[in-house]
Structure 1
Amino acid sequence: MKTFTISTKKKDQIIDITNTVEQFLRDEEKEDGLCLLFVAHTTCSLTTADLDPGTDLDLLDALRNLLPHLSYRHPHDPHHTPDHILSTIIGPSLVIPYSDRQLMLGTWQSVILVELDGPRQRTIHLNTF
């Protein structure tokens, strides 16, 4: 298993980690398999997305508008409860097939970290099968 850290700089931010993941795959013994990614935090998540200019901001705006304004009961900081909820909806992990040590993504797909409570240091674990 490999572990790497991503530094985020904003409260809400999309970071393309595709190249970082593929750099790890270049060192793998197996040329083909599955790449498992897991982010070890509860206020960020992993997914794939099209990152044409502005689509990162569109995604963040859409996510923020999904949840109603409620009186949240989170015991230590109700203010960031929406961050936890959105992170749960998107999810902390991805499994992506790879071939010839490259992710088998669609033409417009990128692997992204969705930061919902930054700026922070985020830890991602990567394993291949």
Structure 2
Amino acid sequence: MKTISVRTQKKDQVIDITDTVEHYLRQEGPEDGLCSIFVAHTTCALTTADLDPGTDLDLLDALRHMLPHLSYRHPHDPHHTPDHLLSSILGPDLVVPFSDHRLMLGTWQSVILVELDGPRERTLHLHAF
């Protein structure tokens, strides 16, 4: 297993981590298997996406428009609640098959970290098996 850090630069941001994960697989993983990726935070998430120009912003805009404007009860900071909710909807983890040290993604798929409360330093745990 390997732990890595990813620095985000904006409040809402999509970061392509595909190359980072594949670098880990080349350095430390077996040739074929599954790669588990987990982000250890409650205000960012992992998923896959097509990253044609502008689609990162489309994703962030769509996510923000999914949630209704409510009086949230989060004791820490009610304005911060949508960040937690969107993170939970997307989820903190992915498992992706790989072969020859390369993720078996579709033609346009990338593995992305979705930052919802940046800028921050984010911790990811990678494990190939």
| 2:109 aligned residue | 109
Query: Secondary structure of 1:27's partner?
Result: helix
Distance (whole Å) between structure 2 residues aligned to residue 29 and residue 123 of structure 1: 19
Provide the residue aligned with 1:127 in structure 2.
127
Check whether the contact 2:29–2:101 (CA below 8 A) recurs between aligned residues: no
Alpha-carbon separation, structure 2, partners of 1:62 and 1:102? 30
For residue 22 of structure 1, what is the amino acid of its counterpart?
A: E
User: Which 4+ residue blocks in structure 1 deviate beyond 4 angstroms?
Assistant: none
Report the number of matched residues: 129
User: Which consecutive residues of structure 2, in runs of 5 or more, have no partner in the other structure?
Assistant: none
Shift of 1:28: 2.8
TM-score after normalising by structure 1? 0.99
Give the aligned partner of residue 75 of structure 1.
Answer: 75
Q: What is the distance in 2 between the residues matched to 1:26 and 1:111?
A: 16
Q: Give deviations 1:19-70, integer Å, cap 9, x for gaps.
A: 0000000013510000000000000000000000000000000000000000
- Counting aligned pairs with the same residue, the percent is 78
Q: Deviations for 1:75-116, whole angstroms, at most 9, x for unmatched residues?
A: 011111000000000000000000000000000000000000
- State the Cα RMSD in Å: 0.6
Equivalence for 1:52: 52
1:42 corresponds to: 42
Residue aligned with 1:65, SS? helix
Instruction: Output the amino acid matched with 1:102.
Output: R
Give the residue type in structure 2 aligned to 1:16. D
* Structure 2 match to 1:18: 18
Give the aligned residue type for 1:52. Answer: D
Q: Which residue of 1 aligns with 2:89?
A: 89
Separation in 2, partners of 1:85, 1:79:
11
Distance 2:75 2:29 in 1: 46
Mapped contact 1:28–1:101 kept (Cα < 8 A) = no
Aligned-partner SS, 1:9: coil
